[in-house]
């Protein structure tokens, strides 16, 4: 542990830290452009120059490893002059268009110029002009503003795994670009906008729409996948203007996927802003809340409780789910399911449906086996973590299922579930590697779990985990559990934790649909469930509660307008089992209401009033149903207990579950930006 002195303060730092990081630990701020804590060190902007004793020249602190006995000064006249000089050179070719630049107000160059900039320019010649690039529907470029920090290049090749960007030419002719002008094909490309320290890369959908000081930010949780990224929702008035990541090293680091970032414009279209009831003419007509509730109560009074079923969708919050569960119990229905896709997971103990390794834990793994999953599309940030581990340790990754391009080399074992049996019997080439691995991990995805034999595959995976030591049982102090289930729905783990599952004699989502065609189920309550086979519900009385006029609303008999994730404070449990809460950033449109309130109001009309009046009441009910809802933002680890299901594997190969990353749910299906991505990045018709 080297000890060094920075500005007369002594500090001891871990081996391998840089002078800049050591200074940060002391709270000494050093201006930077090219340095980024999550990217490799480039050391090319020279803004972080500091003075080092016994060195004739200033040193770049971001690239200099802190070593024993160094004496660093960051506030001397020499440092100030050096930084002023660097900045003057950077500003030579930087246009003075801050008033029309989207980065204005949140620009590193602007801020640092306030500290080190001269009051006027000494440069009398023409500034250089660089043609703008076409990076696709998400990133707007203004390459004159580029200061060649190369953060975007490093991000693309390191984090995103799409080495498409580069710096071509040299000296004054240097430009950032692609080989052949093309759209960036990454699901994480929007993060380049965040890391660009100037206004060279800005958000295309947000272009010229607002200024950073007009917006108010609300911390929230992303619901487009089960990772539960920390996000900030920036609003102006009622309108969501943009969505940015919040730093959360345990989940999303500093990144979010393009869908999480850009699908917000879908919140403006096809919204359900008032209740509807389908009349005798077969058409939906707008009604008041009372009329809508009346239509439901009239129907429910003529239907026995066990002919009623409920299915919740992928974006439901835990509050709405627990209230709906209580309502169903009060009605006397055992038929409820939070797995609208028919995923065969969640009936067993908690460890059988969690991402037990945790997302940050991926970085410790030394072998990764993917079973029926495409993490690049199902959870881009988990994919980024796997890639991070691959880059730093060369993590070997093997894959069973359809072959997907994940952005890192994968040992593709084949698309055949029987490979799992072979691995279990030690008759697969990777068996020896698994045996040798100290921290092996496995991710079982929805491609496997949605199959008819999903639970059998899950049991097989567990047997493999037990045989090859994926879970440390004897060394509790060194916790390692390499058994993981990767969900795709933000609501899923919350639903499972609340037991939003059929009773022993209840139907699962698939059985509900089948029973509906046989009139065994007469009323179905859909809480934002749009990804089911609606044709089965033709003759069923469908209550659809949700925020978008999507598939579910199209066949509904009563529509109850709910709130989207930006419009309510909701609790979500991510695939790791981390309970997180998002705050309300804006209000629902028109007469739409927060979801738990709707169900609570309906219960009153049905004469089975549920015992809560405030969101706090609902949250204490959550804790009563499952105490782990009491602690936020922490992974609630599950104990490794037995689960097993005997049965025969189906020889059918695994099938991809996501056809189009950009359109997976009712919000992104109505987003114009996502439609553009589908067309321009995937080359398909939206």
Q: Residue 529: which of 613, 600, 582, 595 has the closest Cα?
A: 595
Work out how close the CB of 192 gets to another protein at its nearest, in angstroms, rounded to a whole number: 15
- Shortest Cβ distance from residue 249 to another protein (Å)? 28
Q: Supply the minimum distance, in Å, between the C-beta of residue 60 and another protein.
A: 21
Q: At what angle do helices 318-331 and 595-605 cross, to 10 degrees?
A: 20
User: Which is nearer to another protein, 174 or 433 (by Cβ)?
Assistant: 174
> Which of 157, 374 has the CB closer to another protein?
157
Which of 1, 180 has the CB closer to another protein? 180
Specify the residue for token string 């997971």: 345
CB of 162 to another protein, least distance (A): 9
CB of 148 to another protein, least distance (A): 13
Contact region for another protein (CB under 8 A) — 159-167, 195-203, 274-282, 523-531? Answer: 159-167
Site for another protein contains 157 (CB under 8 A): yes
For 195, 205, 626, 632, the CA distances from 357, given in Å and listed in that order, are: 29, 36, 22, 18
- Residue 135 CB, nearest approach to another protein (Å): 13
Q: Rule CB under 8 A: is residue 280 a binding residue for another protein?
A: no
Which residue shows structure tokens 């043609």?
131
Q: Give burial (CB, 10 Å; 0-12/13-18/19+) of 407.
A: buried
Q: Does 391 bind another protein (CB under 8 A)?
A: no
Of 158-166, 331-339, 504-512, 596-604, the segment contacting another protein by CB under 8 A is 158-166
Size of interface with another protein, in residues (CB under 8 A): 11
The correct pick among 163, 279, 426, 429 for binding another protein (CB under 8 A) is 163
CB of 185 to another protein, least distance (A): 12
- Among 514, 531, 506, CA closest to 325: 506
Q: Kindly tell me which of 164 and 341 has the beta carbon lying closer to another protein.
A: 164
* Identity of the residue, 164 or 446, whose beta carbon is nearer to another protein in the bound complex: 164
Do the beta carbons of residue 44 and residue 147 sit within 8 Å? no
Q: Percent helix, strand, coil in the chain (nearest 5)? A: 30, 15, 50
Segment lying near another protein (by CB under 8 A), choices 59-67, 102-110, 162-170, 191-199: 162-170
Q: Are 571 and 318 in contact (CB under 8 A)?
A: yes
- By DSSP bridging, strand 59-60 and strand 49-52 are antiparallel
Per CB under 8 A, contacts with another protein among 423-442 are none
Q: How far apart are CA 601 and CA 183, in angstroms?
A: 49
Give the per-residue contact string, 116-155, with another protein (x = CB under 8 A; - = no): ----------------------------------------
Stretch that binds another protein, among 157-165, 351-359, 638-646, 655-663 (CB under 8 A): 157-165
DSSP secondary structure of 76-112 = SHHHHHHHHHHHHHHHHTS-S-GGG-TTTTS-HHHHH
Residue 410 as a binder of another protein (CB under 8 A): the answer is no
Choose between 165 and 308: whose C-beta lies nearer to another protein: 165
Whole-angstrom Cα distance, residue 589 to residue 85? 53
Closer residue to another protein, CB minimum distance, 150 or 586: 150
Cβ at position 164, least distance to another protein in Å: 6
405 versus 604: smaller Cβ distance to another protein: 405
State the Cα–Cα distance between residues 395 and 161, nearest whole angstrom. Answer: 15
CB of 133 to another protein, least distance (A): 13
**Nearer residue to another protein within complex by CB, 201 or 223:** 201
Q: Which of residues 164-183 bind another protein (CB under 8 A)?
A: 164-170, 178-179
Q: CB 167 → another protein: shortest distance, Å?
A: 6
**31 to each of 49, 81, 664, how far by Cα in Å?**
9, 13, 41
For the chain, helix (H) and strand (E) counts, in that order, are 20, 26
- The set of long-range contacts for 235-242, using a CB threshold of 8 Å and a minimum separation of 24, is 235/566, 235/585, 235/586, 236/210, 237/586, 238/586, 238/587, 238/589, 239/268, 239/586, 240/264, 240/267, 240/566, 240/585, 240/586, 241/206, 241/209, 241/210, 241/215, 242/203, 242/205, 242/206, 242/210, 242/215
Rounded to a whole number of angstroms, the minimum distance from the CB of residue 430 to another protein is 23
Which parts of this chain interact with another protein (CB under 8 A)? Answer: 157, 163-170, 178-179
């Amino acid at each position: 542990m080297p000890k060094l002195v920075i500005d007369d303060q002594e500090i001891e730092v871990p081996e391998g830290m840089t002078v800049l990081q050591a200074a940060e630990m002391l709270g000494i701020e050093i201006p930077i452009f090219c340095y980024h804590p999550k990217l490799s060190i480039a050391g090319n902007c020279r803004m972080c120059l500091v003075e080092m004793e016994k060195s004739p020249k200033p040193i770049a602190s971001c690239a200099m490893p802190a070593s024993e006995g160094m004496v660093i000064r960051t506030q001397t006249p020499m440092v100030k002059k050096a930084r002023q000089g660097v900045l003057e050179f950077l500003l030579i070719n930087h246009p003075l268009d801050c008033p029309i630049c989207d980065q204005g107000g949140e620009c590193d160059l602007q801020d640092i110029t306030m500290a080190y900039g001269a009051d006027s320019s000494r440069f009398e010649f023409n500034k250089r002009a660089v043609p703008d690039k076409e990076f696709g529907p998400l990133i707007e470029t203004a390459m004159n503003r580029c200061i060649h920090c190369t953060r975007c290049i490093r991000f693309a090749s390191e984090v995103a795994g799409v080495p498409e960007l580069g710096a071509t030419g040299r000296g004054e002719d240097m430009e950032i670009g692609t080989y052949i002008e093309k759209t960036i094909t990454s699901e994480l490309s929007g993060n380049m906008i965040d890391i660009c320290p100037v206004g060279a890369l800005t958000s295309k959908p947000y272009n010229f729409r607002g200024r950073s000081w007009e917006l108010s930010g609300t911390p929230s949780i992303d619901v487009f996948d089960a990772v539960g990224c920390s996000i900030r929702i920036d609003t102006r008035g009622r309108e969501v203007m943009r969505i940015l990541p919040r730093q959360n090293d345990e989940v999303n680091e500093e990144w979010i996927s393009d869908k999480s970032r850009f699908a917000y414009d879908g919140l403006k279209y096809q919204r359900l802003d008032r209740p509807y009831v389908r009349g005798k003419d077969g058409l939906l007509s707008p009604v008041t809340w009372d009329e809508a509730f009346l239509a439901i109560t009239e129907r429910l009074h003529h239907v026995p409780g066990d002919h009623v079923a409920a299915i919740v969708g992928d974006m439901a919050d835990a509050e709405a789910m627990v209230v709906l569960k209580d309502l169903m119990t009060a009605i006397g229905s055992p038929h409820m399911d939070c797995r609208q896709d028919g995923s065969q997971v969640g009936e067993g103990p908690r460890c059988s449906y969690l991402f037990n390794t945790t997302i940050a834990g991926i970085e410790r793994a030394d072998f990764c086996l993917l079973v029926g999953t495409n993490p690049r599309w199902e959870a881009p940030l988990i994919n980024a973590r796997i890639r991070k581990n691959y880059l730093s340790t060369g993590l070997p990754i093997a894959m069973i299922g359809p072959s997907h391009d994940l952005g890192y080399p994968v040992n593709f074992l084949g698309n055949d579930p029987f490979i799992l049996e072979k691995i279990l019997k030690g008759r697969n080439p990777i068996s020896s590697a698994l045996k040798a691995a100290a921290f092996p991990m496995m991710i079982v995805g929805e491609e496997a779990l949605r199959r008819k034999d999903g639970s059998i595959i899950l049991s097989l995976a567990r047997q493999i985990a037990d045989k090859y030591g994926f879970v440390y049982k004897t060394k509790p102090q060194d916790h390692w559990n390499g058994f993981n289930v990767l969900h795709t729905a933000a609501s899923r783990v919350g639903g499972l934790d609340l037991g939003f599952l059929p009773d022993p004699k209840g139907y699962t989502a698939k059985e509900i649909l089948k029973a509906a065609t046989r009139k065994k189920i007469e009323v179905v309550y859909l809480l934002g469930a749009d990804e089911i086979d609606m044709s089965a519900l033709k003759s069923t009385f469908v209550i659809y509660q949700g925020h978008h006029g999507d598939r579910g609303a199209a066949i509904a008999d009563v529509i109850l307008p709910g709130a989207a994730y930006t419009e309510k404070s909701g609790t979500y449990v991510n695939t790791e089992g981390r309970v997180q809460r998002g705050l309300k950033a804006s209000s629902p449109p028109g007469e739409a209401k927060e979801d738990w309130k709707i169900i609570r109001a309906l219960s009153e009309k049905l004469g089975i009033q549920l015992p809560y009046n405030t969101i706090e009441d609902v949250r204490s009910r959550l804790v009563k149903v499952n105490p782990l809802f009491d602690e936020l933002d922490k992974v609630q680890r599950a104990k490794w207990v037995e689960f097993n299901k005997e049965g025969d594997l189906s020889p059918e190969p695994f099938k991809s579950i996501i056809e189009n990353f950009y359109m997976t749910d009712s919000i992104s299906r109505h987003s114009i930006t996502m439609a553009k991505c589908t067309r321009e990045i995937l080359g398909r018709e939206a």
